[in-house]
Amino acid sequence: MRKLLAFNSVSLDGYFVDARGDMRWAHHSADPEWNDFTAGNASGGGTLVFGRVTYQMMASYWPSPMAIQNDPVVAERMNALPKVVFSRTLREATWRNTTLVKDDMIAAMRRMKGEPGTGMAIFGSGTVTAQLAQAGLIDEFQFVVVPIVLGGGRTLFDGIAKPLKLNRTGVRSFANGNVVLSYAPTA
């Protein structure tokens, strides 16, 4: 069975997007170790999973000349990896190697997890993360706690109906102040 990882940045006050829905605050770093970590994640393979909003943001940046110039290793991997976008409103997915899924997201993810292949990773996509977590389909959570207080925004798990109990499986801190916390759902 394929594993599903959720990888998201959160502020110290618990938001994954600011009050305007922006995530750029999470992507500023002058730390070589952090840059190596993110490049390593991009080289890990697997399938990237997005909701419409995050997909459109990523698809507008990673294929661009700016992304290729600023971060060629990550850009190459982001563009080459297979991608799935869940959306009922998106008409087409034009970013290379992207499959648009308009069906029931929970049923589609159950089907994908049962197929042979490498793991899958959700980036951003708070609504997708919350729904798949509530359905018990996420095998691991990695939260990057970024040393910033936003004062408002949206939490990653808006709308969950019951608590998610998690066990910490790892911690890694970086010189830029970011801390990666890894969790697995309890049985």
Task: Return the structure tokens found at 91.
Answer: 């008409």
What tens-digit pLDDT sequence spans the chain (187 residues)?
899 999 999 999 999 999 998 888 887 767 888 777 876 665 567 999 999 999 999 999 999 999 999 888 889 989 999 999 999 999 999 999 999 999 999 999 999 999 998 999 998 888 999 999 999 999 999 999 999 999 999 999 988 899 999 999 999 999 999 999 999 999 6
Task: Read off the CATH number of the domain in which 145 is found.
Answer: 3.40.430.10
Task: Return the structure tokens found at 175.
Answer: 């010189």
pLDDT of residue 47: 94
Q: What type of residue is 145?
A: V
d(CA 163, CA 93): 34
* Residue 167 CB burial class (10 angstroms; 0-12, 13-18, ≥19): exposed
d(CA 176, CA 33): 9
Range of the domain at 98: 4-185
pLDDT of residue 87: 96
* Cα angle: 104, vertex 9, 106; to 5 degrees: 10
Number of domains in the chain: 1
User: What Cα–Cα distance (Å) separates residue 172 from each residue in 12, 15, 88, 121, 146?
Assistant: 16, 20, 37, 19, 12
d(CA 61, CA 50): 14
pLDDT of residue 159: 84
